[in-house]
Structure 1
Amino acid sequence: MLPVIMAPLVALALTASSADVRPPVRHSPLGADRPADTASVVTRAEAEDCDPLRSLKPPARMPEPGGRMPSGTAMERIVERGRLIVGVDQNTYLFGYRNPTTGQLDGLDIDLVREISRALFGKPDRVQFKTVPSRRRIEVLERGEVDLVAHSMTITCERMEQVLFSSDYLDSGQRVLVPDASPAQTLADLAGQRVCTAEGTTSLTALRRARPKVRPVAVADWTDCLVRLQLGDVAAVSTTDNVLAGLRAQDPTTRITGPRFTYEPHGIAVAKGSPELVRFVNGVLARLHTSGGLRTLHERWLGGYGDFYPPAPRYLK
Protein backbone atom coordinates (compact mmCIF):
# COMPACT_ATOMS: atom_id res chain seq x y z
CA MET A 1 0.00 0.00 0.00
CA LEU A 2 1.25 3.44 -0.90
CA PRO A 3 2.36 5.50 2.13
CA VAL A 4 -0.16 8.14 3.20
CA ILE A 5 0.71 11.81 3.12
CA MET A 6 0.00 13.08 6.60
CA ALA A 7 2.04 16.24 6.98
CA PRO A 8 0.60 19.25 5.17
CA LEU A 9 3.86 20.08 3.38
CA VAL A 10 4.88 16.60 2.31
CA ALA A 11 3.87 14.95 -0.97
CA LEU A 12 4.59 11.53 -2.36
CA ALA A 13 7.40 11.47 -4.87
CA LEU A 14 5.94 9.30 -7.61
CA THR A 15 8.37 10.61 -10.21
CA ALA A 16 6.36 12.77 -12.54
CA SER A 17 2.42 12.61 -14.24
CA SER A 18 -21.80 12.94 -26.41
CA ALA A 19 -23.97 12.30 -28.30
CA ASP A 20 -25.24 9.98 -25.62
CA VAL A 21 -24.74 11.77 -22.33
CA ARG A 22 -25.63 9.37 -19.54
CA PRO A 23 -25.32 10.62 -15.98
CA PRO A 24 -23.46 8.07 -13.86
CA VAL A 25 -26.19 7.50 -11.30
CA ARG A 26 -24.69 4.55 -9.48
CA HIS A 27 -23.03 5.02 -6.09
CA SER A 28 -21.59 8.50 -5.77
CA PRO A 29 -17.89 8.23 -4.85
CA LEU A 30 -16.70 9.15 -1.41
CA GLY A 31 -19.91 10.33 0.12
CA ALA A 32 -21.27 12.65 -2.54
CA ASP A 33 -24.79 13.38 -1.43
CA ARG A 34 -26.26 14.81 -4.61
CA PRO A 35 -27.00 13.18 -7.97
CA ALA A 36 -24.47 13.62 -10.75
CA ASP A 37 -24.84 16.46 -13.18
CA THR A 38 -25.62 15.45 -16.75
CA ALA A 39 -23.14 17.85 -18.33
CA SER A 40 -20.62 16.46 -20.79
CA VAL A 41 -17.11 17.61 -21.57
CA VAL A 42 -17.98 17.03 -25.24
CA THR A 43 -20.06 20.03 -26.18
CA ARG A 44 -19.99 19.31 -29.94
CA ALA A 45 -21.14 15.71 -29.67
CA GLU A 46 -24.74 16.07 -30.81
CA ALA A 47 -23.96 18.48 -33.60
CA GLU A 48 -21.30 16.16 -35.03
CA ASP A 49 -23.28 12.96 -34.53
CA CYS A 50 -20.39 11.67 -32.45
CA ASP A 51 -20.83 8.91 -29.89
CA PRO A 52 -17.83 8.47 -27.55
CA LEU A 53 -19.44 5.37 -26.08
CA ARG A 54 -19.23 3.34 -29.30
CA SER A 55 -16.03 1.70 -30.48
CA LEU A 56 -15.03 -0.81 -33.16
CA LYS A 57 -16.47 -4.28 -32.79
CA PRO A 58 -14.08 -7.02 -31.58
CA PRO A 59 -13.06 -9.70 -34.08
CA ALA A 60 -15.50 -12.58 -34.46
CA ARG A 61 -12.75 -14.87 -33.20
CA MET A 62 -9.80 -13.74 -31.11
CA PRO A 63 -6.37 -15.23 -31.95
CA GLU A 64 -4.99 -17.72 -29.47
CA PRO A 65 -2.68 -16.08 -26.88
CA GLY A 66 0.93 -16.67 -27.85
CA GLY A 67 -0.16 -17.99 -31.23
CA ARG A 68 0.00 -16.64 -34.73
CA MET A 69 -1.55 -13.20 -35.14
CA PRO A 70 -3.36 -12.18 -38.35
CA SER A 71 -0.91 -11.35 -41.12
CA GLY A 72 -0.07 -7.70 -41.70
CA THR A 73 -1.67 -6.49 -38.48
CA ALA A 74 -0.29 -4.39 -35.66
CA MET A 75 -0.65 -7.44 -33.43
CA GLU A 76 1.65 -9.46 -35.68
CA ARG A 77 4.27 -6.68 -35.60
CA ILE A 78 4.04 -6.44 -31.82
CA VAL A 79 4.46 -10.18 -31.34
CA GLU A 80 7.39 -10.30 -33.77
CA ARG A 81 9.02 -7.45 -31.84
CA GLY A 82 8.60 -9.44 -28.64
CA ARG A 83 7.02 -6.74 -26.50
CA LEU A 84 4.05 -4.40 -26.32
CA ILE A 85 5.00 -0.71 -25.91
CA VAL A 86 2.48 1.30 -23.91
CA GLY A 87 2.29 4.91 -22.78
CA VAL A 88 1.23 5.09 -19.14
CA ASP A 89 1.24 7.35 -16.12
CA GLN A 90 3.45 6.81 -13.09
CA ASN A 91 1.92 9.58 -11.04
CA THR A 92 -1.74 8.66 -10.52
CA TYR A 93 -2.34 6.46 -7.50
CA LEU A 94 -4.77 3.58 -8.15
CA PHE A 95 -4.36 3.85 -11.94
CA GLY A 96 -0.73 4.16 -12.95
CA TYR A 97 1.84 4.78 -10.22
CA ARG A 98 5.30 3.69 -9.16
CA ASN A 99 4.93 1.47 -6.11
CA PRO A 100 7.60 2.73 -3.67
CA THR A 101 7.90 -0.70 -2.05
CA THR A 102 8.53 -2.73 -5.21
CA GLY A 103 9.66 -0.05 -7.64
CA GLN A 104 7.16 -1.51 -10.12
CA LEU A 105 4.27 0.22 -11.86
CA ASP A 106 0.86 -0.64 -10.39
CA GLY A 107 -2.77 0.35 -10.83
CA LEU A 108 -5.89 -0.39 -12.82
CA ASP A 109 -4.47 0.86 -16.13
CA ILE A 110 -1.30 -1.17 -15.60
CA ASP A 111 -3.27 -4.35 -14.89
CA LEU A 112 -5.37 -3.84 -18.03
CA VAL A 113 -2.19 -3.53 -20.10
CA ARG A 114 -0.93 -6.78 -18.60
CA GLU A 115 -4.15 -8.47 -19.70
CA ILE A 116 -3.57 -7.22 -23.26
CA SER A 117 -0.02 -8.61 -23.08
CA ARG A 118 -1.43 -11.93 -21.91
CA ALA A 119 -3.80 -12.00 -24.90
CA LEU A 120 -0.92 -11.29 -27.30
CA PHE A 121 1.89 -13.37 -25.85
CA GLY A 122 0.25 -15.73 -23.36
CA LYS A 123 2.23 -13.87 -20.69
CA PRO A 124 1.34 -10.68 -18.78
CA ASP A 125 4.86 -9.28 -18.56
CA ARG A 126 5.84 -8.74 -22.19
CA VAL A 127 5.34 -5.00 -21.86
CA GLN A 128 7.64 -2.01 -22.19
CA PHE A 129 6.04 0.78 -20.19
CA LYS A 130 6.81 4.29 -21.39
CA THR A 131 5.80 6.94 -18.86
CA VAL A 132 4.38 10.08 -20.48
CA PRO A 133 2.76 13.23 -19.07
CA SER A 134 -0.91 13.87 -19.80
CA ARG A 135 -0.16 16.55 -22.38
CA ARG A 136 1.84 14.09 -24.56
CA ARG A 137 -0.62 11.18 -24.63
CA ILE A 138 -1.81 11.81 -28.18
CA GLU A 139 1.59 12.97 -29.43
CA VAL A 140 3.35 9.69 -28.55
CA LEU A 141 0.73 7.77 -30.53
CA GLU A 142 0.94 10.05 -33.54
CA ARG A 143 4.74 9.82 -33.53
CA GLY A 144 4.65 6.02 -33.33
CA GLU A 145 6.53 5.90 -30.03
CA VAL A 146 3.99 3.53 -28.44
CA ASP A 147 1.39 0.98 -29.54
CA LEU A 148 -1.22 2.01 -26.98
CA VAL A 149 -1.86 4.65 -24.35
CA ALA A 150 -3.50 3.51 -21.10
CA HIS A 151 -3.42 6.68 -19.03
CA SER A 152 -6.83 7.47 -17.43
CA MET A 153 -7.82 9.06 -20.73
CA THR A 154 -11.30 10.50 -21.27
CA ILE A 155 -12.92 9.64 -24.60
CA THR A 156 -14.01 12.85 -26.34
CA CYS A 157 -15.13 13.72 -29.86
CA GLU A 158 -12.19 16.09 -30.24
CA ARG A 159 -9.71 13.37 -29.33
CA MET A 160 -11.50 10.88 -31.59
CA GLU A 161 -10.47 13.07 -34.51
CA GLN A 162 -6.82 12.31 -33.64
CA VAL A 163 -6.78 8.78 -32.20
CA LEU A 164 -8.96 5.68 -31.91
CA PHE A 165 -10.38 4.57 -28.57
CA SER A 166 -11.32 1.23 -27.10
CA SER A 167 -14.69 0.67 -25.52
CA ASP A 168 -15.36 2.41 -22.21
CA TYR A 169 -13.65 0.66 -19.28
CA LEU A 170 -14.28 3.26 -16.55
CA ASP A 171 -16.88 5.97 -15.97
CA SER A 172 -16.15 9.08 -13.94
CA GLY A 173 -16.88 12.78 -13.73
CA GLN A 174 -15.11 15.94 -12.67
CA ARG A 175 -15.39 17.08 -9.06
CA VAL A 176 -13.33 19.10 -6.56
CA LEU A 177 -10.76 18.20 -3.87
CA VAL A 178 -10.32 20.68 -1.01
CA PRO A 179 -8.71 20.68 2.45
CA ASP A 180 -11.01 19.49 5.22
CA ALA A 181 -11.05 23.03 6.64
CA SER A 182 -12.26 24.61 3.40
CA PRO A 183 -15.83 25.95 3.42
CA ALA A 184 -16.23 25.14 -0.28
CA GLN A 185 -18.93 22.61 -1.15
CA THR A 186 -19.04 23.00 -4.95
CA LEU A 187 -16.94 24.45 -7.76
CA ALA A 188 -19.15 27.56 -7.70
CA ASP A 189 -17.97 28.24 -4.14
CA LEU A 190 -14.44 28.65 -5.53
CA ALA A 191 -15.28 31.58 -7.82
CA GLY A 192 -12.23 33.78 -8.36
CA GLN A 193 -9.91 31.32 -6.59
CA ARG A 194 -6.98 29.28 -7.89
CA VAL A 195 -7.90 25.71 -8.81
CA CYS A 196 -5.20 23.26 -9.89
CA THR A 197 -5.41 20.67 -12.66
CA ALA A 198 -3.07 18.98 -15.15
CA GLU A 199 -2.05 20.25 -18.57
CA GLY A 200 -3.51 18.56 -21.62
CA THR A 201 -6.64 17.28 -19.85
CA THR A 202 -10.39 17.66 -20.28
CA SER A 203 -10.39 18.91 -16.69
CA LEU A 204 -8.49 22.05 -17.70
CA THR A 205 -11.00 22.68 -20.51
CA ALA A 206 -13.90 22.33 -18.08
CA LEU A 207 -12.32 24.74 -15.59
CA ARG A 208 -11.78 27.34 -18.30
CA ARG A 209 -15.47 27.10 -19.20
CA ALA A 210 -16.72 27.18 -15.60
CA ARG A 211 -19.24 29.81 -14.54
CA PRO A 212 -18.77 31.55 -12.19
CA LYS A 213 -15.16 31.76 -13.23
CA VAL A 214 -12.30 30.17 -11.32
CA ARG A 215 -8.58 30.74 -11.92
CA PRO A 216 -7.16 27.52 -13.39
CA VAL A 217 -3.57 26.62 -12.51
CA ALA A 218 -2.17 24.04 -14.95
CA VAL A 219 0.75 21.83 -13.89
CA ALA A 220 2.47 18.76 -15.33
CA ASP A 221 1.36 16.12 -12.83
CA TRP A 222 -1.33 15.43 -10.27
CA THR A 223 1.10 15.21 -7.37
CA ASP A 224 2.17 18.77 -8.26
CA CYS A 225 -1.45 19.79 -7.64
CA LEU A 226 -1.50 17.98 -4.31
CA VAL A 227 1.70 19.72 -3.19
CA ARG A 228 0.29 23.12 -4.19
CA LEU A 229 -2.89 22.37 -2.25
CA GLN A 230 -0.86 21.40 0.83
CA LEU A 231 1.23 24.56 0.53
CA GLY A 232 -1.88 26.73 0.27
CA ASP A 233 -0.89 27.92 -3.20
CA VAL A 234 -4.25 26.80 -4.61
CA ALA A 235 -7.68 26.54 -3.02
CA ALA A 236 -8.61 23.23 -4.65
CA VAL A 237 -7.74 20.53 -7.15
CA SER A 238 -10.28 19.62 -9.81
CA THR A 239 -10.29 16.63 -12.15
CA THR A 240 -12.15 13.36 -12.59
CA ASP A 241 -13.20 11.83 -9.30
CA ASN A 242 -11.28 8.61 -9.98
CA VAL A 243 -8.02 10.60 -9.96
CA LEU A 244 -9.17 12.64 -6.97
CA ALA A 245 -9.80 9.39 -5.09
CA GLY A 246 -6.11 8.57 -5.40
CA LEU A 247 -5.08 12.02 -4.19
CA ARG A 248 -7.39 11.82 -1.21
CA ALA A 249 -6.03 8.38 -0.35
CA GLN A 250 -2.56 9.96 -0.20
CA ASP A 251 -3.71 12.86 1.96
CA PRO A 252 -6.70 12.06 4.20
CA THR A 253 -6.80 15.66 5.45
CA THR A 254 -8.58 16.47 2.17
CA ARG A 255 -12.09 15.73 0.98
CA ILE A 256 -13.87 15.37 -2.37
CA THR A 257 -16.90 17.61 -2.55
CA GLY A 258 -19.78 18.64 -4.80
CA PRO A 259 -21.57 16.72 -7.55
CA ARG A 260 -19.98 15.59 -10.78
CA PHE A 261 -20.24 18.40 -13.32
CA THR A 262 -18.98 16.39 -16.31
CA TYR A 263 -19.49 12.84 -17.53
CA GLU A 264 -16.28 11.16 -18.71
CA PRO A 265 -15.97 7.63 -20.11
CA HIS A 266 -12.39 6.32 -20.31
CA GLY A 267 -10.73 4.33 -23.06
CA ILE A 268 -7.40 2.91 -24.17
CA ALA A 269 -6.08 4.97 -27.09
CA VAL A 270 -4.57 3.63 -30.31
CA ALA A 271 -3.15 5.39 -33.38
CA LYS A 272 -5.61 6.13 -36.17
CA GLY A 273 -3.88 3.74 -38.56
CA SER A 274 -4.41 0.62 -36.44
CA PRO A 275 -8.15 -0.12 -36.26
CA GLU A 276 -7.41 -3.87 -36.01
CA LEU A 277 -5.52 -3.21 -32.77
CA VAL A 278 -8.53 -1.39 -31.31
CA ARG A 279 -10.70 -4.38 -32.25
CA PHE A 280 -8.22 -6.69 -30.54
CA VAL A 281 -8.15 -4.57 -27.37
CA ASN A 282 -11.95 -4.49 -27.39
CA GLY A 283 -11.92 -8.28 -27.61
CA VAL A 284 -9.76 -8.39 -24.47
CA LEU A 285 -12.07 -5.96 -22.65
CA ALA A 286 -15.16 -7.89 -23.77
CA ARG A 287 -13.71 -11.10 -22.33
CA LEU A 288 -12.95 -9.33 -19.07
CA HIS A 289 -16.53 -8.02 -18.93
CA THR A 290 -17.97 -11.48 -19.56
CA SER A 291 -15.65 -13.35 -17.19
CA GLY A 292 -16.01 -10.86 -14.34
CA GLY A 293 -12.32 -10.00 -14.57
CA LEU A 294 -12.97 -6.31 -15.16
CA ARG A 295 -15.25 -6.18 -12.14
CA THR A 296 -12.52 -7.87 -10.09
CA LEU A 297 -9.97 -5.26 -11.17
CA HIS A 298 -12.37 -2.44 -10.32
CA GLU A 299 -12.99 -3.92 -6.90
CA ARG A 300 -9.27 -4.41 -6.30
CA TRP A 301 -8.28 -0.85 -7.10
CA LEU A 302 -11.43 1.21 -6.61
CA GLY A 303 -13.72 -0.79 -4.33
CA GLY A 304 -13.19 1.54 -1.39
CA TYR A 305 -13.69 4.74 -3.36
CA GLY A 306 -16.95 4.41 -5.29
CA ASP A 307 -18.49 2.69 -8.28
CA PHE A 308 -16.76 3.60 -11.52
CA TYR A 309 -17.77 0.44 -13.36
CA PRO A 310 -18.83 1.03 -16.99
CA PRO A 311 -21.94 -0.28 -18.72
CA ALA A 312 -21.81 -3.14 -21.21
CA PRO A 313 -19.72 -2.17 -24.25
CA ARG A 314 -21.39 -0.78 -27.34
CA TYR A 315 -19.98 -1.03 -30.83
CA LEU A 316 -20.28 0.70 -34.19
CA LYS A 317 -22.24 -1.22 -36.80
Structure 2
Amino acid sequence: MNMKRWLAIAIIPVLAFSLAACGTDDAAKNSSVDAIKKRGKLVAGVKYDTNLFGFKDPADGQVKGFEIDLMKELAKRMLGDEKKLELKEVTSKTRIPLLNNGDVDILAATMTISEERKKEIDFSHVYFMAGQSLLVKKESGINGVKDLKGKVVMGAKGSTSVQNIKNVEPGIKIKEYENYADAFTALKNGKGDALTTDDSILMGMEQQAPGQVKLVGGHFTQEPYGFGLAKGNKELTDYVNKFLEDIQKDGTYDKLYKKWFKKDPPKNIPKDAVNKVLKK
Protein backbone atom coordinates (compact mmCIF):
# COMPACT_ATOMS: atom_id res chain seq x y z
CA MET A 1 0.00 0.00 0.00
CA ASN A 2 1.53 3.36 -0.98
CA MET A 3 1.89 6.24 1.49
CA LYS A 4 -0.83 8.45 -0.07
CA ARG A 5 -3.40 5.68 0.07
CA TRP A 6 -2.46 4.84 3.65
CA LEU A 7 -2.84 8.46 4.70
CA ALA A 8 -6.24 8.72 2.96
CA ILE A 9 -7.52 5.65 4.79
CA ALA A 10 -6.13 6.85 8.12
CA ILE A 11 -7.63 10.33 7.89
CA ILE A 12 -11.21 9.29 7.00
CA PRO A 13 -12.27 8.34 10.58
CA VAL A 14 -10.74 11.57 11.92
CA LEU A 15 -12.67 13.67 9.40
CA ALA A 16 -15.89 11.79 10.14
CA PHE A 17 -15.48 12.38 13.87
CA SER A 18 -14.69 16.08 13.32
CA LEU A 19 -17.72 16.58 11.10
CA ALA A 20 -19.98 14.86 13.63
CA ALA A 21 -18.60 17.05 16.43
CA CYS A 22 -19.11 20.19 14.34
CA GLY A 23 -22.69 19.13 13.59
CA THR A 24 -23.44 18.75 17.29
CA ASP A 25 -21.85 22.14 18.09
CA ASP A 26 -23.92 23.82 15.36
CA ALA A 27 -27.10 22.14 16.62
CA ALA A 28 -26.44 23.45 20.15
CA LYS A 29 -25.73 26.97 18.86
CA ASN A 30 -28.83 27.09 16.62
CA SER A 31 -30.99 25.83 19.49
CA SER A 32 -29.77 28.25 22.15
CA VAL A 33 -32.51 30.12 24.01
CA ASP A 34 -31.54 33.37 22.24
CA ALA A 35 -31.58 31.69 18.82
CA ILE A 36 -35.05 30.24 19.47
CA LYS A 37 -36.37 33.61 20.65
CA LYS A 38 -34.93 35.42 17.60
CA ARG A 39 -36.45 32.78 15.34
CA GLY A 40 -39.77 33.13 17.16
CA LYS A 41 -40.42 29.40 17.02
CA LEU A 42 -39.61 26.34 19.14
CA VAL A 43 -39.20 23.13 17.11
CA ALA A 44 -39.96 19.98 19.09
CA GLY A 45 -39.41 16.40 17.95
CA VAL A 46 -42.37 14.32 19.12
CA LYS A 47 -43.95 10.94 18.51
CA TYR A 48 -47.08 10.69 16.35
CA ASP A 49 -47.80 7.04 17.20
CA THR A 50 -47.83 6.96 21.01
CA ASN A 51 -51.26 7.36 22.57
CA LEU A 52 -51.36 9.55 25.72
CA PHE A 53 -47.93 11.07 24.95
CA GLY A 54 -47.82 12.08 21.28
CA PHE A 55 -50.49 10.76 18.93
CA LYS A 56 -51.86 12.07 15.65
CA ASP A 57 -55.64 11.81 15.95
CA PRO A 58 -57.06 10.57 12.63
CA ALA A 59 -60.37 12.25 13.45
CA ASP A 60 -59.00 15.79 13.22
CA GLY A 61 -55.35 15.42 12.20
CA GLN A 62 -54.15 17.06 15.44
CA VAL A 63 -51.19 15.72 17.41
CA LYS A 64 -52.17 15.33 21.07
CA GLY A 65 -50.81 14.00 24.34
CA PHE A 66 -48.99 14.71 27.58
CA GLU A 67 -45.67 15.53 25.91
CA ILE A 68 -47.41 17.74 23.35
CA ASP A 69 -49.05 19.75 26.13
CA LEU A 70 -45.70 20.07 27.94
CA MET A 71 -44.12 21.46 24.75
CA LYS A 72 -47.02 23.89 24.27
CA GLU A 73 -46.49 25.13 27.82
CA LEU A 74 -42.76 25.49 27.22
CA ALA A 75 -43.38 27.51 24.03
CA LYS A 76 -45.89 29.70 25.86
CA ARG A 77 -43.46 30.50 28.67
CA MET A 78 -40.47 30.98 26.40
CA LEU A 79 -42.11 32.79 23.47
CA GLY A 80 -45.38 34.08 24.92
CA ASP A 81 -47.63 31.93 22.73
CA GLU A 82 -48.12 28.16 22.52
CA LYS A 83 -48.82 28.58 18.80
CA LYS A 84 -45.14 29.40 18.34
CA LEU A 85 -44.46 25.69 18.60
CA GLU A 86 -43.64 23.58 15.56
CA LEU A 87 -44.01 19.81 15.92
CA LYS A 88 -41.80 17.50 13.90
CA GLU A 89 -42.45 13.75 13.85
CA VAL A 90 -39.69 11.49 15.17
CA THR A 91 -39.43 7.78 15.87
CA SER A 92 -37.21 5.90 18.31
CA LYS A 93 -34.77 5.36 15.44
CA THR A 94 -34.70 8.92 14.00
CA ARG A 95 -34.97 11.16 17.07
CA ILE A 96 -31.28 11.45 18.06
CA PRO A 97 -30.01 12.01 14.48
CA LEU A 98 -32.66 14.72 13.93
CA LEU A 99 -31.62 16.45 17.15
CA ASN A 100 -27.91 16.28 16.36
CA ASN A 101 -28.50 17.51 12.81
CA GLY A 102 -30.24 20.60 14.20
CA ASP A 103 -33.64 19.71 12.70
CA VAL A 104 -35.28 20.03 16.12
CA ASP A 105 -34.45 22.04 19.26
CA ILE A 106 -35.71 19.51 21.77
CA LEU A 107 -36.99 15.93 21.89
CA ALA A 108 -40.16 15.11 23.82
CA ALA A 109 -40.52 11.54 22.64
CA THR A 110 -40.92 8.98 25.46
CA MET A 111 -37.13 8.74 25.59
CA THR A 112 -35.53 6.84 28.44
CA ILE A 113 -32.43 8.41 29.93
CA SER A 114 -29.58 5.91 29.57
CA GLU A 115 -25.81 6.08 30.03
CA GLU A 116 -25.36 5.10 26.37
CA ARG A 117 -27.58 7.91 25.08
CA LYS A 118 -25.90 10.43 27.39
CA LYS A 119 -22.74 9.95 25.32
CA GLU A 120 -24.61 11.36 22.30
CA ILE A 121 -26.99 13.97 23.72
CA ASP A 122 -27.86 15.81 26.93
CA PHE A 123 -31.02 15.26 28.96
CA SER A 124 -33.27 17.42 31.10
CA HIS A 125 -34.34 16.29 34.54
CA VAL A 126 -36.79 13.39 34.65
CA TYR A 127 -40.38 14.39 33.78
CA PHE A 128 -41.98 10.93 33.80
CA MET A 129 -41.03 7.62 35.43
CA ALA A 130 -42.13 4.53 33.53
CA GLY A 131 -41.25 0.83 33.67
CA GLN A 132 -40.99 -1.74 30.90
CA SER A 133 -43.81 -4.26 30.64
CA LEU A 134 -45.62 -6.52 28.15
CA LEU A 135 -48.76 -6.21 26.03
CA VAL A 136 -50.34 -9.47 24.87
CA LYS A 137 -53.55 -10.70 23.32
CA LYS A 138 -56.30 -11.34 25.86
CA GLU A 139 -56.22 -15.14 25.62
CA SER A 140 -52.45 -15.56 25.03
CA GLY A 141 -51.75 -17.36 28.30
CA ILE A 142 -48.74 -15.09 28.84
CA ASN A 143 -48.71 -13.53 32.31
CA GLY A 144 -45.13 -12.31 32.55
CA VAL A 145 -41.53 -12.55 31.37
CA LYS A 146 -41.25 -16.13 32.63
CA ASP A 147 -43.74 -17.24 29.96
CA LEU A 148 -41.80 -15.79 27.00
CA LYS A 149 -39.21 -18.51 26.34
CA GLY A 150 -39.45 -19.54 22.68
CA LYS A 151 -41.99 -16.77 21.96
CA VAL A 152 -41.79 -13.91 19.45
CA VAL A 153 -41.52 -10.53 21.18
CA MET A 154 -41.93 -7.32 19.20
CA GLY A 155 -40.45 -3.87 19.73
CA ALA A 156 -39.48 -0.63 17.99
CA LYS A 157 -36.13 -0.06 16.29
CA GLY A 158 -33.85 2.22 18.29
CA SER A 159 -35.61 1.63 21.61
CA THR A 160 -33.93 0.38 24.80
CA SER A 161 -36.77 -2.09 25.25
CA VAL A 162 -35.48 -4.71 22.81
CA GLN A 163 -32.08 -4.99 24.48
CA ASN A 164 -33.65 -5.02 27.94
CA ILE A 165 -35.93 -7.93 27.12
CA LYS A 166 -32.99 -9.89 25.68
CA ASN A 167 -31.15 -9.39 28.97
CA VAL A 168 -34.16 -10.42 31.04
CA GLU A 169 -35.10 -13.48 28.94
CA PRO A 170 -32.43 -14.65 26.46
CA GLY A 171 -34.59 -17.49 25.06
CA ILE A 172 -36.89 -15.32 22.93
CA LYS A 173 -37.15 -14.31 19.27
CA ILE A 174 -37.20 -10.60 18.47
CA LYS A 175 -39.06 -8.74 15.72
CA GLU A 176 -38.37 -5.03 15.34
CA TYR A 177 -40.66 -2.52 13.61
CA GLU A 178 -40.12 1.07 12.48
CA ASN A 179 -42.53 2.42 15.10
CA TYR A 180 -44.94 1.33 17.81
CA ALA A 181 -48.02 1.71 15.61
CA ASP A 182 -46.65 -0.94 13.23
CA ALA A 183 -45.65 -3.21 16.13
CA PHE A 184 -49.10 -2.85 17.70
CA THR A 185 -50.82 -3.71 14.41
CA ALA A 186 -48.55 -6.76 14.10
CA LEU A 187 -49.52 -7.91 17.61
CA LYS A 188 -53.24 -7.61 16.84
CA ASN A 189 -52.70 -9.52 13.58
CA GLY A 190 -50.96 -12.38 15.39
CA LYS A 191 -47.46 -11.82 13.95
CA GLY A 192 -45.93 -12.14 17.40
CA ASP A 193 -46.78 -13.18 20.93
CA ALA A 194 -46.03 -10.01 22.90
CA LEU A 195 -45.13 -6.37 22.43
CA THR A 196 -42.69 -4.83 24.88
CA THR A 197 -41.96 -1.23 25.78
CA ASP A 198 -42.70 1.12 28.65
CA ASP A 199 -45.98 0.52 30.46
CA SER A 200 -46.97 4.14 29.85
CA ILE A 201 -46.95 3.56 26.08
CA LEU A 202 -48.65 0.16 26.39
CA MET A 203 -51.46 1.68 28.49
CA GLY A 204 -52.34 3.90 25.54
CA MET A 205 -52.45 0.88 23.21
CA GLU A 206 -54.61 -1.04 25.67
CA GLN A 207 -57.11 1.83 25.63
CA GLN A 208 -57.20 1.72 21.82
CA ALA A 209 -58.16 -1.97 21.71
CA PRO A 210 -60.33 -2.69 24.77
CA GLY A 211 -61.10 -6.37 25.21
CA GLN A 212 -58.48 -7.44 22.64
CA VAL A 213 -55.20 -6.92 24.51
CA LYS A 214 -54.00 -6.64 28.09
CA LEU A 215 -51.00 -5.38 30.02
CA VAL A 216 -49.10 -8.07 31.97
CA GLY A 217 -45.82 -8.71 33.71
CA GLY A 218 -45.47 -5.73 36.03
CA HIS A 219 -42.27 -3.65 35.78
CA PHE A 220 -38.97 -5.32 35.01
CA THR A 221 -37.05 -2.11 34.33
CA GLN A 222 -36.96 1.49 35.53
CA GLU A 223 -37.46 3.90 32.60
CA PRO A 224 -36.99 7.59 33.47
CA TYR A 225 -38.04 9.92 30.63
CA GLY A 226 -36.11 13.12 29.95
CA PHE A 227 -36.28 15.75 27.22
CA GLY A 228 -33.39 15.32 24.76
CA LEU A 229 -31.14 18.31 24.00
CA ALA A 230 -28.07 18.78 21.82
CA LYS A 231 -24.79 17.85 23.53
CA GLY A 232 -23.26 20.87 25.23
CA ASN A 233 -26.41 23.00 25.02
CA LYS A 234 -26.22 23.92 28.70
CA GLU A 235 -28.21 27.14 28.31
CA LEU A 236 -31.31 25.40 26.94
CA THR A 237 -30.88 22.43 29.29
CA ASP A 238 -30.83 24.77 32.31
CA TYR A 239 -33.83 26.67 30.93
CA VAL A 240 -35.84 23.46 30.47
CA ASN A 241 -34.91 22.21 33.95
CA LYS A 242 -36.08 25.50 35.45
CA PHE A 243 -39.30 25.17 33.40
CA LEU A 244 -39.91 21.69 34.87
CA GLU A 245 -39.32 23.00 38.40
CA ASP A 246 -41.71 25.92 37.80
CA ILE A 247 -44.59 23.81 36.44
CA GLN A 248 -44.25 21.36 39.30
CA LYS A 249 -44.37 24.20 41.83
CA ASP A 250 -47.33 26.06 40.28
CA GLY A 251 -49.50 22.97 39.70
CA THR A 252 -49.38 22.95 35.89
CA TYR A 253 -47.56 19.61 35.80
CA ASP A 254 -50.15 17.93 38.07
CA LYS A 255 -52.99 19.35 35.97
CA LEU A 256 -51.56 18.01 32.70
CA TYR A 257 -50.66 14.64 34.26
CA LYS A 258 -54.22 14.16 35.54
CA LYS A 259 -55.66 15.23 32.18
CA TRP A 260 -53.92 12.39 30.35
CA PHE A 261 -53.45 9.64 32.93
CA LYS A 262 -56.59 10.20 35.06
CA LYS A 263 -54.66 10.00 38.32
CA ASP A 264 -52.30 12.03 40.49
CA PRO A 265 -48.61 11.98 39.54
CA PRO A 266 -46.28 9.97 41.78
CA LYS A 267 -44.59 11.78 44.63
CA ASN A 268 -40.88 12.56 44.57
CA ILE A 269 -39.97 11.83 40.93
CA PRO A 270 -36.13 11.85 40.98
CA LYS A 271 -34.51 14.69 39.07
CA ASP A 272 -31.69 12.54 37.76
CA ALA A 273 -31.88 8.84 36.96
CA VAL A 274 -30.96 6.34 34.27
CA ASN A 275 -32.67 3.18 33.17
CA LYS A 276 -31.89 -0.10 34.88
CA VAL A 277 -33.13 -3.68 34.85
CA LEU A 278 -35.01 -4.39 38.08
CA LYS A 279 -35.11 -8.16 37.81
CA LYS A 280 -33.68 -10.91 35.63
Instruction: Percent identity, please.
Output: 33
1:169–1:310 Cα contact (<8 Å) kept: no
Match of 1:280 in 2: 239
User: Which of the pair has more CA radius of gyration?
Assistant: 2
Aligned to 2:143: 185
TM-score normalized with structure 1 length:
0.73
Q: RMSD between aligned alpha carbons? A: 1.8
- Between the aligned partners of 1:101 and 1:117, the Cα distance in structure 2 is 25
Correspondence for 1:256 among 198, 206, 215 = 215
Q: Which of 232, 246, 249 is the equivalent residue of 2:204?
A: 246
Whether the 8 Å CA contact 2:126–2:272 is kept in 1: the answer is no
Please report how far the alpha carbon of residue 291 of structure 1 lies from its aligned counterpart in structure 2 after TM superposition.
1.1
Bigger strand share: 2
CA 1:315/1:204 → structure 2, altered by over 3 Å: closer, same or farther? closer
Per the alignment, in what secondary structure is the counterpart of residue 160 of structure 1?
Answer: helix
Q: Deviations over 1:125-169 (max 9, x none)?
A: 101111011111111111111100100100111111111111111
Partner of 1:12: none
Structure 1 residues 73 and 140: CA distance shift in structure 2, 3 A: closer
- Tell me the secondary structure at the aligned position of residue 61 of structure 2: coil
CA distance in 2, matches of 1:87, 1:195: 27
Name which of structure 1's ranges 207-216 and 225-234 shifts more when overlaid on structure 2: 207-216
Map of 1:187-226 to 2, 5 A cutoff? 187-226=145-184
Residue 311 (structure 1) shift: 2.4
Identify, as 1 or 2, the structure richer in helix.
Answer: 2
Aligned to 2:63: 105
Letter paired with 1:217: K
CA shift digits 1:227-284 (9 cap, x unpaired): 1111111001111000000110111111101120000110101001311101101111
Higher relative contact order (CA 8 A, sep 6+): 1
- Cα distance between partner residues in 2 of 1:276 and 1:186: 43
Q: Residue 172 of structure 1 aligns with which residue?
A: 130
Offset at residue 310 of structure 1 (A): 6.3
Cα drift, residue 92 of structure 1: 0.5
Aligned to 2:225: 266
Runs of 4+ with >3 A deviation: 307-310, 312-316
Distance 1:73 1:129 in 2: 15
> Which residue is 1:301 aligned to?
260
